[in-house]
Structure 1
Amino acid sequence: MPALPDDPATAPQQSPEFLAGLLASQKGDRTAAFAAFARAAARFPAHGPIHGNLGTLAGQLGHGALAARCFRRGLAVDPGHAELWSNFGSQLRRTHRDVEAVAALKRALCLAPRHANALCNLGAILFEAGHSARAEACFRQALALAPHLAEAAKNLGFALLRRGELRAGFGWYEQRHAVAPLPPPALDTPVPRWQGGSLDGLSLLAVAEQGEGDTIQFVRYAKLVERGGGALTLLCSPALKRLMTRAEGVRRVALEGERVAGVDAWVPLLSLPHLLGTDRGSVPGGIPYLHPAPEDAAAWRARLSGAAGLKVGLVWAGNPAFDGDHRRSPRFAAVAPLLDLPGVHMVCLQVGDGRRDLVGRGLAGNATDLGAEIHDFADTAAIMAGLDLVITSCTAPAHLAGALGRPVWIMLPFAADWRWMEGRTDSPWYPTARLFRQPAPGDWTSVVAALSAELQAVVAGRRPLDGLV
């Protein structure tokens, strides 16, 4: 006789529905897993963890409201389940409901003070809020309880990097591959992953693994490989290929997905700072290390030759797929006052999603919108070569302007990305950069006001434009 829905002899975790959900999850089929766990929840409505599994899957599938309802159902029937509270906190964090997320995680830690995942998740929220020291304490406590918790190790790396402890930070950051393994590149002949050591005579393939801004920032290590006697091939995105063929120290450029031949080893690009022993005193300099094609730069310079005043490039938004983009991107409405400044000609360099901010807006005569004509980063680099200054949010053009040695003023959120460190108005990565930080979370008005005052001082001759090449 089949077990009835409330048959105590049937363990929910051993039911066919639950096991089918686990199997589908292991295969990466989240839709099938959700359907199986939904059947399990219908059969065992008083089993909280099943509802928690549904909540996690709904969140991963992008259904935030459904995820919250699933977690709340689970907690209604099992309010003393620490793992449920911890996972609910993670989901709330993903949907940027940080106050509720902190409350859920603290509830988990009240129920289970040694819950390493809850500590790690709490640390992540504290880090994103700018409380680096408290976040670091959470990550270290989580690692003391669970030494192999890679997420806590990676996050500890971020906390140390933000504090400027580069050697230790990059070391911990290596644990990112335990969180999300980086598959080896397509190679004609399998070669090992480089773990450090002599570069002399080594043909090394560096694989771009993060956003395009990261690739621009860390391709500077190609020069160190070259100085060590090695030759570096870079695997990067199509948008970067033309630019990277002119990067100092890069011997060859291949596109993501292409099969590469003739290399002795491969390495994730962002592992080079760790493997080459970077600390605060040994950040590779040599700015600029990226260069536009001279003929392209000349053409764009001629295009803008009729613009009067200080020529300033402007970018106000990054890739919305980046989890923290809502914090780092001021959007056009926030920066629009910059277009009203006398003596300044704004050149809009915005591409991608941020261009929708311009729909229905007319630009004044002292502004030129070039975003629709930009096809890749080589185009942007060539335009920047003819500008006096670039003002940008924390996104790839900030790194591009810095790598080109152009003066760049970067608008930063209150809790900025690790690479800008804490409390600085300058950057060891980019000597021509100035950092304009929010004084409080979400306060772009103060940032734009500070930028306006500085621009007016430059136009009036009261202040030099630092770093002008």
Structure 2
Amino acid sequence: MPALPDSSATDPLHSPEFQAGLLALQQNDREAAIAAFTWAAGRFPMYGPVHANIGTLAGQLGHSALAMRCFQRAIAVDPGHAEVWSNFSSQLRRTDREDAAVMALKRALSLEPKHANALCNLGAILFDAGQTARAEACFRQALALAPNHHEAAKNLGFALLRRGDLRIGFSWYEHRYAAAPLPAPVFDPPVPRWRGGTLKGLSLLAVAEQGEGDTIQFVRYAKLVERGGGTLTITCSHALKRLMARADGVRHMVATGDPMPRVDAWAPLLSLPHLLGTDHGSIPGGVPYLHPAPEDAAAWRTQLSGVAGLKVGLVWAGNPAFGGDRHRSPRFAAVAPLLALPGLHMVLLQVGDGRRDLAGHALPPTVTDLGGRIRDFADTAAIMAGLDLVITSCTAPAHLAGALGRPVWIMLPFAPDWRWMEGRADSPWYPTARLFRQPTPGDWTSVVAAISAELQAVVAGRRLLEGLA
């Protein structure tokens, strides 16, 4: 019987180099995958997808110039692959070239109208542009073609949550673990993941899975666990540990490096809204559910006791590692006009990367900069307790002020995060919050002007601040 032809010699997909690249991807070793795909590209230079694979990985690692060269090579030698054009769109989005990304996706869909990945990617661009209904339609089309497309399912959850359909939205959002698996906590002996059901007598660990603002927002569910007869332990960053020790309903805190406690089950923190049946009418919106230490609040209040005027905390930037930070953070130059308003004393609460914005700026005597003295969120909470108002971008201090029941005005981009919903000036998550939205993308000038007018009305006594006494 004659030997079968060796497909590895002629078929790029079955070559040992390409297969080594796939194996490296399974092991989450992107550098090794790039090396293997580069060898494959040397053997099969006219096979576009192998160049595109290198481009995708290079883009994920921040090597934008290399990524663009690889995609351009892929398209030049083999322009007929819809998947290549779809992946190219993702790289174009990383470099803020949304219009070019849409054109790449249109090319992908012209080649393959039922390409689920391209539809999902197009929906993501529309969602980021604030076109929620059109984005939802794309995600649903993708799911109709590929029912197990977890990225489209997760993104559909975001779209539904943004328009306020919380019960169904949180259900779809559960696909995030399948779209991007996260490691489960390690217990000895192992304990199961909680999928819902009775809480009576249950010791539950809630695993914080995303940013610190998410932890602050969703730790409110500890009270619901407690009311159901269970006890809740929460994982958190070291920066949140002192604050979480005073959260309503939290039994214990586990920070990185702490020993894992004995519990009956665990669940991702952001799965609790789904598991506990949250809809628009059952958001646990009671505030405050976080509390500063009274002695810390008194100490910070004493330091500000000699200042005159309305005491206003100010934050203008979030964590730059967050992909959308450039859209949500107005930066100091945009908010600086607020410092010149009469009748105010501004208290700068900015920490982290945003403090670089202060370089070269001489602050007037009506400004106190406390950001450099803040050690953790417990300090920020104690300072906020002595302020009349907090003005902040969409970042963790916005959630903190809301969770403390302090009056907080939140500056939002044109297409904000799902939790602020659409067209609202208030938030069902935070009764003391007011939302100031960009009227057009990138327009922080109008946001700051609206806040300035409202501040002047408060100082003049024409408007009251809404918060807890």
- TM-score, length basis structure 1: 0.97
Q: Distance in 1 between matches of 2:162 and 2:256?
A: 29
Aligned pair 1:138/2:130, yes or no? no
Deviations 1:99-157 (A, max 9, x none): 11111011100110000000000000000000000000000000000000000000000
Amino acid aligned to 1:181: P
Stretches of structure 1 that go unaligned for 5 or more consecutive residues are 1-6
In structure 2, the residue matched to 1:168 is 168
Contact 2:8 2:15 in 1 (8 A): no
Please give the secondary structure, in 1, of the residue aligned with 2:435.
strand
**Distance (Å, rounded) in 2 between the aligned partners of 1:438 and 1:80:** 40
**Pairing 1:39-438 to 2, within 5 Å after superposition:** 39-438=39-438
- In structure 2, the partner of 1:443 is 443
Aligned partners of 1:314 and 1:232: how far apart in 2? 33
Question: In 2 relative to 1, CA 8–394 (structure 1 residues): closer, same or farther, beyond 3 Å?
Answer: closer
Distance 1:146 1:19 in 2: 25
2:281 alignment partner, SS class: helix
Deviation string, structure 1 residues 59-87 (Cα, Å, up to 9, x no partner) = 11111121111011000111111110011
What residue is the counterpart of 2:22 in the other structure? 22
CA distance in 1 between counterparts of 2:442 and 2:386 reads 32
**Displacement, 1:307?**
1.2
Mapped to 1, the partners of 2:449 and 2:205 lie a distance apart of 45
Stretch of structure 1 that moved more, 67-76 or 438-447 = 67-76
Matched residue SS, 2:402:
helix
Amino acid at match of 2:437: R
**Residue 332 of structure 1 aligns to a residue in which SS?**
helix
Amino acid at match of 2:255: L
Are 2:8 and 2:14, in contact at CA under 8 Å, matched by a contact in 1?
Answer: no
Read off the aligned partner of 1:116 and give its amino acid letter.
A
List per-residue Cα deviations over 1:200-235 (Å, max 9, x = no partner). Answer: 011111111110000000000000000000011111
Aligned length: 463
Aligned to 1:4: none
Q: CA deviation at 1:410?
A: 0.1
| Greater alpha carbon shift after TM alignment, 28-37 vs 293-302 | 28-37
Q: Judge conservation of contact 1:123–1:139 (CA < 8 Å) in 2.
A: yes
Q: How many angstroms apart in 1 are the aligned matches of 2:163 and 2:33?
A: 41
Q: Structure 1 residues 25-34 or 82-91, which shifts more? A: 25-34
Q: Could you say what secondary structure the match of 1:405 adopts?
A: coil
* SS in structure 2 at match of 1:445: helix
Q: Give, in angstroms, the shift of residue 23 of structure 1.
A: 2.4
What is the aligned partner in structure 2 of residue 35 from structure 1?
Answer: 35
Separation of aligned partners in 2, 1:353 and 1:278: 35
SS in structure 2 at match of 1:281: coil
Report the 3-state secondary structure (helix = DSSP H, G, I; strand = E; otherwise coil) of the residue aligned with 1:350: coil
Deviates more, 1:242-251 or 1:10-19: 10-19
Give deviations 1:157-179, integer Å, cap 9, x for gaps.
Answer: 00000000000000000000001
CA displacement at 1:406 relative to structure 2? 0.1
| Secondary structure of 1:447's aligned partner | helix
% identity of equivalent residues: 79
Shift of 1:47: 1.1
Matches of 1:208 and 1:29, distance apart in 2? 25
Seen in structure 2, the aligned counterparts of structure 1 residues 8 and 302 have a Cα distance that, compared at 3 Å, is closer
Unaligned runs of 5+ in 2: 1-6
Distance (whole Å) between structure 2 residues aligned to residue 407 and residue 361 of structure 1: 28
CA deviation after TM superposition for structure 1 residue 375, in Å: 0.7
Given that 1:161 and 1:421 are in contact with CA atoms closer than 8 Å, whether structure 2 keeps it comes out as yes
* Contact 2:394–2:411, Cα closer than 8 Å, also in 1: yes
Instruction: Give 1:237's aligned amino acid.
Output: S
Contact 1:189 1:261 in 2 (8 A): no
8 Å CA contact 1:310, 1:459 repeated in 2? yes
Deviations 1:215-272 (A, max 9, x none): 0000000000000000111111100000000000001111134332321000111000
Deviates more, 1:215-224 or 1:12-21: 12-21
CA distance in 2, matches of 1:84, 1:214: 34
SS at match of 2:261: coil
CA separation of 1:262 and 1:16: change in aligned 2, threshold 3 A: closer
Secondary structure class of the residue paired with 1:195: coil
Distance 1:338 1:278 in 2: 38
Of the structure 1 ranges 53-62 and 294-303, higher mean CA displacement relative to structure 2 is found in: 53-62
- Contact 1:186–1:258 (8 Å) recurs in 2: no
- 1:57: Cα distance to partner? 1.1
Q: Distance in 2 between matches of 1:443 and 1:193?
A: 44
**Which stretch shows the higher mean deviation, 394-403 or 92-101?**
92-101
User: Which amino acid in the other structure matches residue 69 of structure 2?
Assistant: R
CA positional deviation for 1:8? 11
**Aligned to 1:52, what secondary structure does the other structure show?**
helix
Q: State the distance in 1 between where 2:158 and 2:346 align.
A: 35
Spell out, residue by residue over 1:263-317, the C-alpha distance to the aligned partner (whole angstroms, 9 max, x if none).
Answer: 1000111000000000000000221000000000000000011111000000000
Cα distance in 1, alignment partners of residues 19 and 82 from structure 2:
22
Match of 2:3 in 1: none
2:458 — aligned with what?
458
Q: Give the conservation status (yes or no) of the 8 Å contact 2:8–2:16.
A: no
Contact persistence 1:188–1:261 (CA under 8 A):
no
Q: 1:8 to 1:315 in 2, by over 3 A?
A: closer
